[in-house]
Chain A
Amino acid sequence: MSKLAEQIKGAAKKLLAEQKVNLVVGFTEGSLPLRGTPFFARTPEEADQLTWNLDCENNLANYLRKKPGKVAVVAKGCDVRSIVALIKENQLNRDNLYIIGVPCSGMIDRKKVTDLLGSQEVLAIEENGDTVVIKGSNSSVTAKIADLLHNSCGDCSYGNPVVYDELIGELLPKKEAADFNEIKEFEAKTTAERRAFMNSEFSKCIRCYACRNACPMCYCEECFVDCNQPEWIGKSAYNVEDNILFQVVRVFHLAGRCVDCGACERACPMGINLRLLTRKPVKDVKELFNAEAGVNLEDKPALATFTNDDSEAFLLKE
């Protein structure tokens, strides 16, 4: 990892020194154990603070819209898929973007790490090959990195950036696409069971909109929840129906656009299982149209194209 960090620094410094870009968006060490944090380098000296680690979990595509001039971004697989999707939606100009692609085999989920230590606070974490040593206030635990990854990383088969101007590190071997078992299980439940799940999950929602704001594809100038006239949705949070309505509309709006990076679920302070919802349209769009968002620059976005062969299974019910 430290080797990759050095290469990233080198690439960023060169780009800034040669004035090929005026900004490099990447990660620097955060203030907490296992916490990389988004960082904006505008000079070669600032680029020295860039890093790469198992905690660079944020989707940096979120920061690229509205940035003036030429911008470089340190982008793992999911960041690049979001970038590609944003380019197709005319939100980013490929010509103004320099992608420093970093193959990624997954980022560590702090919640899983915390669970390992019980009520102890995680004070430090050391990487050691394919394991990590997690140091708590009273004891240490060694765990396999593979067991600690975010669920979205476990399901991801696009760890290799699909588009890049420069690649840091080695491309990873191809990974099989994940099944959608947890979605199938959820689909198999009765309406009442699904409803009960939604009520229980969304009674936790505090409407902080961290999910929406962490999502690179949620870029509406005015989100429907913020609109007062007409008021599409109740502004109060005591009503679980409104909490559900917010998320369901968000998920529908992401159909065919969501790259399943998991940023929404990571951002949620209340630990709501959001990917169970966002992955349903990911599965449907793949099954119905054999389409995935942001996997290449050529395909049209699934919902922006039409062929006579398109499945109509969802229109007709036998």
Chain B
Amino acid sequence: MIISKKDIPGFLDKLISEYQVFAPVQEGSFTLFKPISSGTDVDLTAANTKLPAKEIFFPQSEKLFSYNVTEEGAKVEETLDEQKKVIFGVRPCDARSLVLLDNVFDNDKFQDPYYLTKRANTIMIGIGCNTPLSTCFCTSVNGSPFDTKGLDLLLVDTGDAYVVEVISDKGKALAEQASLAAAADADKIAAAKVKEAATVTCQVNIDGLKDKLDVNFYWPIWDKIHEKCLGCGACTYLCPTCHCFDIVDDAKDCNGCRVRNWDSCAFPIFTLHGSGHNPRTSNKERYRQRIMHKFKYFVDNFNEIACVGCGRCINNCPVNLDIRVVLEDVRGSEARLDS
């Protein structure tokens, strides 16, 4: 199927009447996913949004339920966002990050209703990356610029139009409902050419990385790697796969709500126990946690690397602590593989 670029606002306006539509919107010098009220609000010129699409399903602060205690007892009201949504213009790396997060929020032990309700009610319309940035390394971590994982429809930019690839039944139904025209053979060829031309130049070698992390929890290299880290949460908060959270009660007297907030392993109060003890006493342990969680623990638990190679942490770290360099240092250093 195909849709002309000039028809995109009209296409979105129709969707807005039925769905809550999120799309990249210009916000100062960058774009963010925001609910749009008009199809003309969309800005697809940026390589990617400043914050990942993760926040739509797993918001930075999410009210889980509110409560109120009176003489008659306690009343609890759950807040479940059941609104039908469309995410338009999501990049393949961000879409794939949700497939990774599904492991966390939907597994044998836990099914998280807040996340899963939103996932179930959302249609994901992705846009492939014709010109990946020099900091994109999706192909090194099992992704690609036109990866379809986590998507219902994928748009391929062929200049004046988007060739629309149907990925799922949900996507098919939406495309049919929008009466999208069939793509001519010439358009399909153009799309195939665009996909072939898109090259990810940055490669991060992760061969043997997990083997080293498996045995090198105590390792002198951790003393050095974290040294310039400021301990802020920029990398974790901008990461599409970071998912640590903290639960707090925002309450006044007998009225309150339980809120789930993003947490960050970079913070000194991360894993701080009620006793005052913290198993991660310094930046060193906390930065090690970041690397271990993404490239070892997540692999152990779900057989996937918790990184999609979007490059946000690389571009936004205030001190240029580059995860590509860190991984190379870890991989290349003398490891005690025999221990």
A contact residues vs B (CB 8 Å cutoff): 30-32, 35-40, 58, 62-63, 111, 114-115, 119, 121, 123, 137, 204, 206-210, 212-214, 222, 226, 228, 234-239, 263, 266-267, 269-271
Q: Select the residue from A39, A40, A115, A207 with max chain B CB neighbours within 10 A.
A: A207
Which residues of chain B are near A209, meaning CB under 8 Å?
Answer: 232-233, 267
> What are 9 A-B residue pairs whose CB atoms fall within 8 Å in the complex?
A32-B322, A38-B319, A58-B318, A119-B47, A208-B264, A222-B268, A236-B61, A267-B234, A269-B316
Say yes or no: is B60 at the interface (Cβ < 8 Å to chain A).
yes
CA of A51 to CA of B324 in the docked complex: distance in angstroms?
A: 21
Contact indicator B51/A137 (Cβ below 8 Å): no
Evaluate whether A208 and B322 lie within 8 angstroms (CB atoms) in the complex, with A238-B60, A271-B29 already known.
no
B contact residues vs A (CB 8 Å cutoff): 27-30, 45-47, 50-51, 59-61, 131, 133-135, 224, 227-228, 230-234, 236-238, 246, 248, 250, 259, 261-262, 264, 267-269, 314-316, 318-322, 324-325
CA of A47 to CA of B45 in the docked complex: distance in angstroms?
A: 42
| Choice from A119, A239, A269, A271 contacting B234 with Cβ under 8 Å | A269
| Residue of chain B at shortest CB distance from A118 | B45
Q: Select the residue from A35, A204, A236 with max chain B CB neighbours within 10 A.
A: A236
Contact indicator A208/B232 (Cβ below 8 Å): yes
Contact indicator A31/B322 (Cβ below 8 Å): yes
Which residues of chain B are near A207, meaning CB under 8 Å?
Answer: 60, 233, 237
Contact indicator B320/A32 (Cβ below 8 Å): yes
Contact indicator A236/B259 (Cβ below 8 Å): yes
CA of A263 to CA of B321 in the docked complex: distance in angstroms?
A: 16
CA of A151 to CA of B269 in the docked complex: distance in angstroms?
A: 33
CA of A123 to CA of B106 in the docked complex: distance in angstroms?
A: 41
If A32-B135, A63-B227, A123-B134 are given as contacts, then 17 extra A-B residue pairs at C-beta distance below 8 Å, sorted by A number, are A31-B314, A32-B320, A38-B228, A121-B133, A206-B233, A207-B60, A207-B233, A208-B232, A208-B264, A209-B233, A213-B318, A235-B248, A235-B261, A236-B250, A237-B61, A238-B59, A270-B50
A-B residue pairs, 4 tightest by C-beta: A267-B318, A236-B61, A210-B232, A208-B233
| Choice from B28, B228, B259, B316 contacting A37 with Cβ under 8 Å | B228
| Choice from B47, B227, B231, B321 contacting A213 with Cβ under 8 Å | B231
Evaluate whether A31 and B324 lie within 8 angstroms (CB atoms) in the complex, with A38-B319, A40-B228, A236-B261 already known.
yes
| Residue of chain B at shortest CB distance from A231 | B248
Evaluate whether A137 and B131 lie within 8 angstroms (CB atoms) in the complex, with A31-B322, A31-B324 already known.
yes
CA of A260 to CA of B261 in the docked complex: distance in angstroms?
A: 32
Contact indicator B259/A213 (Cβ below 8 Å): no
Contact indicator B320/A114 (Cβ below 8 Å): no
Which residues of chain B are near A39, meaning CB under 8 Å?
Answer: 228
Which residues of chain A are near B131, meaning CB under 8 Å?
Answer: 137
Contact indicator A121/B29 (Cβ below 8 Å): no
| Residue of chain B at shortest CB distance from A66 | B282
CA of A98 to CA of B261 in the docked complex: distance in angstroms?
A: 43
Contact indicator A206/B51 (Cβ below 8 Å): yes
Contact indicator B319/A37 (Cβ below 8 Å): yes
Which residues of chain A are near B45, meaning CB under 8 Å?
Answer: 119
CA of A134 to CA of B305 in the docked complex: distance in angstroms?
A: 35
Which residues of chain A are near B325, meaning CB under 8 Å?
Answer: 31
CA of A121 to CA of B201 in the docked complex: distance in angstroms?
A: 13
CA of A207 to CA of B55 in the docked complex: distance in angstroms?
A: 14
Contact indicator A269/B320 (Cβ below 8 Å): no
| Residue of chain A at shortest CB distance from B60 | A237
Contact indicator B268/A37 (Cβ below 8 Å): no
Which residues of chain A are near B232, meaning CB under 8 Å?
Answer: 208-210, 212-214, 267
Which residues of chain B are near A238, meaning CB under 8 Å?
Answer: 59-61
CA of A63 to CA of B226 in the docked complex: distance in angstroms?
A: 12
Contact indicator A32/B314 (Cβ below 8 Å): yes
Evaluate whether A267 and B230 lie within 8 angstroms (CB atoms) in the complex, with A37-B319, A206-B237, A208-B264 already known.
yes
Contact indicator A30/B320 (Cβ below 8 Å): yes
Contact indicator A62/B230 (Cβ below 8 Å): yes
* Cβ distance B96 to chain A, nearest Cβ, rounded Å: 22
Contact indicator B320/A210 (Cβ below 8 Å): no
Which residues of chain B are near A206, meaning CB under 8 Å?
Answer: 51, 60, 233, 237
Contact indicator A121/B134 (Cβ below 8 Å): yes
Contact indicator A111/B29 (Cβ below 8 Å): yes
* Cβ distance B84 to chain A, nearest Cβ, rounded Å: 22
CA of A269 to CA of B269 in the docked complex: distance in angstroms?
A: 21
Evaluate whether A210 and B28 lie within 8 angstroms (CB atoms) in the complex, with A32-B314, A35-B320, A238-B60 already known.
no
Which residues of chain A are near B135, meaning CB under 8 Å?
Answer: 32
Which residues of chain B are near A269, meaning CB under 8 Å?
Answer: 50, 234, 237-238, 316, 318
Q: Select the residue from B61, B264, B324 with max chain A CB neighbours within 10 A.
A: B61
